[in-house]
Structure 1
């Protein structure tokens, strides 16, 4: 449901959340750890910098780090930074003029699911996923 770019960016944010806040990590290190292309990772993480989710620092000791504790970063904030809100605003069937006044066949059901998904992503923070990883409930990011 989320774009692959968004999923991979969430993985990168989760990876960063396993490290101390304020400890900078090179994008190359993150891309190697997650087996993702460097240029893709750099572009994706730049979106998180613009959204204020991570901090970027240049230089020999540079890299990226979370801007705040993982418990303060929701999945919805990352989704908004990478994919925008179009997924939650658009018709599930891709019908351009689907709206409340002229709904498609799935509009009312999608409206309920969309609201549930928004609430779920807004309630889930990075620290919850990090806890699963640190307790080895998730074996791989």
Structure 2
């Protein structure tokens, strides 16, 4: 079980894969990305279209087309991916999904979850898409299960 929705998990894995492959100007096709991140191709195509429309990844059509990043794109925070796919609930929402949860009206998990949520929010806002490229290229990190 992951922290994010399945849609967001596929999106994050795909973004890391595309970022890794973009280092030499390579553009990735949807079939390649889906195979490498163990995602259903049609489902991933919709996710990547959503990320492309949000301006988070670049795409080019044609025989040499595909998805890719430029240097500016690699500097975007991971939180931008999550926001584009799942919205900002993970950064602001209640652990139990209660709409009225707040400091004045806390759920049973509020105080402890708030600490964890703050750490996750900080990490996702300060970590860039390109941060892990060197380790991915060396095979020190994995994107498949």
Q: What is the TM-score when the length of structure 2 is the normalising length?
A: 0.84
Q: Do the aligned partners of 1:52 and 1:67 also contact (CA within 8 Å) in 2?
A: no
C-alpha separation in 2, matches of 1:52 and 1:68: 14
1:30 aligns with 2:30: no
1:78 aligns with 2:81: yes
Pairwise CA distance, 1:140: 4.4
Map Cα deviations across residues 16-37 of structure 1 (whole Å, 9 max, x no partner). 1112365322212211222321
Range moving further from structure 2, 62-71 or 97-106: 62-71
1:89 aligns with 2:83: no
Counterpart in 2 of 1:7? 9
Pairwise CA distance, 1:43: 0.8
Q: What is the TM-score when the length of structure 1 is the normalising length?
A: 0.86
C-alpha separation in 2, matches of 1:33 and 1:136: 13
User: Cα RMSD over matched residues?
Assistant: 2.0
Q: Which runs of 5+ in 2 are unaligned?
A: none
C-alpha separation in 2, matches of 1:41 and 1:58: 17
C-alpha separation in 2, matches of 1:59 and 1:104: 52
Q: Do the aligned partners of 1:55 and 1:65 also contact (CA within 8 Å) in 2?
A: yes
Q: Do the aligned partners of 1:70 and 1:125 also contact (CA within 8 Å) in 2?
A: no
Which structure 2 residues correspond to residues 122-141 of structure 1 after superposition, within 5 A? 122-141=125-144
C-alpha separation in 2, matches of 1:136 and 1:29: 18
Range moving further from structure 2, 59-68 or 72-81: 59-68
Q: Which runs of 5+ in 1 are unaligned?
A: none
Q: Do the aligned partners of 2:36 and 2:143 also contact (CA within 8 Å) in 1?
A: no
